Structure 1
């Protein structure tokens, strides 16, 4: 599962779009013009809501065009800029996304969701200090958002601030999730940090904990496999690695592992592991027979 950083699900904005359009305070304007302005703003909010709905069906181009028009019709609504910025980020137009989200923040500085999305964009631009600043600002407003805590851990990890990363991951794992996300990835990433620090045994323990939470997760299985293989338990490591890669072959790609924040030490050991003929055969096309392996220490 790709877990570099989490986007705030855009469909949660639907709740905000039910708000009535703000009333103009310019009492000296003719009533008809004031009504037109209100109607235009409401049309903009409706278009923004349409954009949110379209993302549910992955019609991102249509959603983006509606979101752009929404900001023109309702330029003083933070929701329209928030939605536009989030869509830009999802479309990997990071600079445009940051510009739109910054506009949303200027309209509503205390909206945590905007700050979390800004942290997302800065992280993807590899501006990790700005990501930390935005995420921490959002967490001061809403301190118990597990996805944001997870994202903060990722940003600290990329800054090599390992104690801060572990603290954020632990807070993320301690929150009440709707499912196993982001609990197992947070615990898994603590293992990544520990491995880079040279604590292989501690890393294996964390990865085992992740497997216990989500037995289908391929990433912690492969990480344990690499660690065992590197420590000399080659047969056990290879068998577990075959299981992991047969369930999700993307983890046989070093670039994909780097996107999932595998550090230099673990990547170097994984490169040796993937070069093993048994693993090469597992990654060969057509070889997809599952293998059951005991992953307990």
Structure 2
């Protein structure tokens, strides 16, 4: 499906149902998300951009653009889009986690951890934020603090293999081998149960 075809379909739909700006923006966002899920990031970006043109004050469009730029490993563009979403009033742990990811891509680790801390203030039960905090702490050699973060992530999302694996690696690095083995066994058990 070409971009031109999608645009014509949206225009036709708009003509039939008299979409307002919000509905038209939502339609482009939904289509963009679907294109992204289908592995068509270029078309998705065009739709996200169209959504920001139609409704420049729609934070969801800026969040989607930021996520898209992260997938493309374009941290500067991701930061611009995600900060625009924050300027428009978004209060989301996920947005701060995405900002942290973009900052890590620019080797701005302290700022990334600050963003994750803000994310955890907004949602202390975010396993993704705890996991990413663990990654940052592990990378700088703070293994005991990494263990705390990975433990929290694994407690919040016990069926996630990666949480148990990273917890095991952090425990091993902290010199806690017997506990590391328990985490690795939990990860293997989850992998086996998933039929991998």
Shift of 1:158: 2.5
Structure 2 CA distance, aligned partners of 1:100 and 1:170?
A: 32
Q: Does structure 2 retain, via aligned residues, the 8 Å contact 1:211–1:217? A: no
Paired residue secondary structure (1:75):
coil
Structure 2 CA distance, aligned partners of 1:163 and 1:46?
A: 46
- Which of 39, 42, 63 in structure 1 is aligned with 2:20? 39
User: Which ranges of structure 2 fall in alignment gaps of 5 or more residues?
Assistant: 1-17, 192-196
Aligned residue runs from structure 1 range 63-212, under 5 A? 63-177=44-158, 179-191=159-171, 193-194=173-174, 199=175, 202=176, 204-212=177-185
Provide closer, same or farther for how the CA distance between residues 217 and 128 of structure 1 changes in structure 2, counting only shifts above 3 A.
farther
Alpha carbon RMSD of aligned pairs, Å? 2.3
Structure 2 CA distance, aligned partners of 1:103 and 1:46?
A: 21
Max Rg structure: 1
- Which of 186, 193, 196 in structure 2 is aligned with 1:213? 186
Structure 2 CA distance, aligned partners of 1:55 and 1:188?
A: 33
Counterpart residue number, 1:55:
36
TM-score, normalized by length of structure 2? Answer: 0.79
Alignment size in residue pairs: 174
Counterpart residue number, 1:19:
none
Shift of 1:89: 0.5
User: Which ranges of structure 1 fall in alignment gaps of 5 or more residues?
Assistant: 1-35, 219-297
Q: Does structure 1 retain, via aligned residues, the 8 Å contact 2:143–2:170? A: no
TM-score, normalized by length of structure 1? Answer: 0.54
